[in-house]
Amino acid sequence: MFKPLNILFLAATFLLSQATLMGQLTSSNLPIVVINTNGQTIQNTTKITADMGIISNPGGARNYLTDPFNHYNSKIGIELRGSSSQQFPKKPYAFETRDAAGNNNNVPLLGLPSENDWILNATYNDKTLMRDVLMYNLSNVAGRYASRSKYCEVILNGQYIGVYILMEKIKTDKNRVDIKKMTPEDITGDNLTGGYIIKIDKLDGEQVQGWQSPNLPYPGSPFKTFYQYHIPKPDDIVNAQKDYIKNFISNFENVMKGNNFENPLTGYPSIFDENSLADFYLFNEFAKNVDGFRLSTFMHKDRDSRNPKMIMGPIWDFNIALGNANYYGAAPPEGWQIDNLTTDTWFLQNDGFQVPFWWKKLRTGDRFAAKLKVRWEVLKNHALNKDRIFAVIDSLVTYLEESRIRNFQKWQILSQYVWPNPFVGHTYQAEISYLKNWISSRLAWMDTEIDLLYTGIQNESPSPNSFSISSYPNPLLSGSDLNLRIHSPGFAELKLTLYDVRGSIISEDVPQILNQGTHDLSFSLQNLNLSSGVYFLTAVYISENGNYLRETRKISIVK
């Protein structure tokens, strides 16, 4: 049970009548968050102590301003957050939940897992109020953690300030980025190897420390990539930990500069989780995120005993994505955003936040292109399925039906340009229609273009100097053997893996050695009891001199 708040906070309930008289809020289907700063101004880089109460009646019951604070009723430390978003009159906030003594206090706000660090996202220039929520939902559905969120309506110092999104701050936690928490004593052995969260972002914030990469984003660039310590925090990380994670990423960059960067044993696949790289790439490209790859970019590494590889993500900050930015070529649903961000002359010479060189280098290799193709086939049939995305949008439109009216009465920006909108709808429904149409066009464009990224060997009738694989029959009866004809131009290792549409491994063979020539093999499905559907057979081929090739075949199973 939360302790009662001070008299000033209790008196704030009387101030709520001001909002009522303005016709803005008397009750809501959303939780109601009430914050009282007791006369203080919320600062940019230093948290002030304030009081917060939340009305959230159980079972989906309606919430009234006359109801008691039945979900949370205690202290918080609150500050402004964001960079460009602070220019808007509707401010975004970060806060930590505290006990009466002012200590951090983990609580499960609005059904989200217990923690003490939270964000109130104002989503001002996204008039759909849902781009961040939508993208984080897609990531979570794909099995990659992104910040969970809950909508609420907020009253600050007696004034209604609109619809906000309560979100989880990116940090180490079993329910957030699930890696080992480090202490300053973790300076040797396995303890030194994790866990770390590193980010590439703007330099705003209370604590910004890190290091500049010696590798320029492109030859002759006047700017450098700056890696920031996120976890452990700059005030907590010690020198041995700084040296370890800097050397880890420097090694990755050095590998990416080399000619054999795709080698599975010595190249980037031995350092970075490939699926996380591909998913991060595809989510940012699907959203055509104008900040993608160069800002709001997080990566994390656990202890070696748990996972020795770096993992890209979580994804973050999509309020000016999905067709909501009018610069750097981000508005049209066609085109690869990373191409815009690595060819635009004005951008390259004037914007201090460039794309690290290794993103473009990754895409020049067949290995990453093949991985993108495989992951796209998985994602477009699941997390990035258009019907599923539209169902999420429609459900959010219904959920926000009354609260968004109050929000746009308070902030009268419908039919008004707000930086950096490329489209200005005169109604909320026009904004939703634009979002849906943009997504539909983007998915169709990517589905056509994704194959063009991959230049690997596709011939069923190979030349003597090429590797190839063909499979038959297709469709295939469940429980049958899949027949393969493989041509190897020389001595090599081959590994076969079968995936389902979610990207989960169904079966994998022990690697086998091939001599030069054509080989007839079989991949047994007899004991797998597979359901009817689409599967993907991937062949990884490593030649005697270390050259790597990955081929994927779509397999249809019928019962």
What top-level class would CATH report for the domain 468-558? mainly beta
**Tokens encoding 198:** 């590193």
Per-residue model confidence (pLDDT) at position 195: 96
> Which whole number is the average pLDDT over 351-361?
96
271-311, pLDDT tens digit by residue?
999 999 999 999 999 999 999 999 999 999 999 999 999 99
pLDDT at 126 over 50: yes
- In the predicted structure, residue 2 carries a pLDDT above the cut 80: no
Looking at 272-399, which runs of residues are DSSP E strands?
A: 297-301, 310-312
DSSP 3-state of 226: strand
**DSSP string spanning 49-110?**
EEEEEEE--GGG--EETTS---SEEEEEEEEE--SGGGGSSS--EEEEEE-TTS-B--B-GG
Residue 511: predicted pLDDT: 77
Q: Over 50: is that where the pLDDT of 445 sits? A: yes
How many residues can be counted in the chain? 559
Q: For residue 28, how many other CB atoms are within 10 A of its CB? A: 19
Share of the chain above pLDDT 90, in %: 69
Cβ contacts of residue 174 below 8 Å, gap of 6+? none
Instruction: Sketch the domain layout of the chain as residue ranges.
Output: 7-168, 189-365, 386-452, 468-558
Residue 228 pLDDT more than 50? yes
Which pLDDT value is given to residue 465? 61
Whole-prediction pTM: 0.81
Strand order through the sheet with 517-524: 468-472, 481-488, 517-524
Residues 6+ apart with CB under 8 A from 216: 223, 224, 357
pLDDT digits (tens, 9 = 90+) for 408-418: 999 999 999 99
Overall average pLDDT of the 339-363 stretch: 95
When pLDDT is cut at 50, 70 and 90, the band that residue 20 belongs to is: very low
Sequence-distant (≥ 6) Cβ neighbours of residue 60 within 8 angstroms: 29
Question: Interior CA angle at 167 toward 98 and 82, to 5°?
Answer: 90
Q: What is the pLDDT of residue 488?
A: 87
Mean pLDDT over each residue of the chain, to the nearest integer: 90
User: Dihedral (C-alpha) 524, 525, 526, 528: value to the nearest 10 degrees?
Assistant: 140
404 exposed, middle or buried (CB, 10 Å; 0-12, 13-18, 19+)?
buried
Question: Among 261-270, 276-285, 447-456, whose mean pLDDT is lowest?
Answer: 447-456
- Cα distance between residue 188 and residue 239, in whole Å: 12
Contact yes or no for 138/94 (Cβ under 8 A): no
User: How far apart are alpha carbons 275 and 281 in whole angstroms?
Assistant: 10
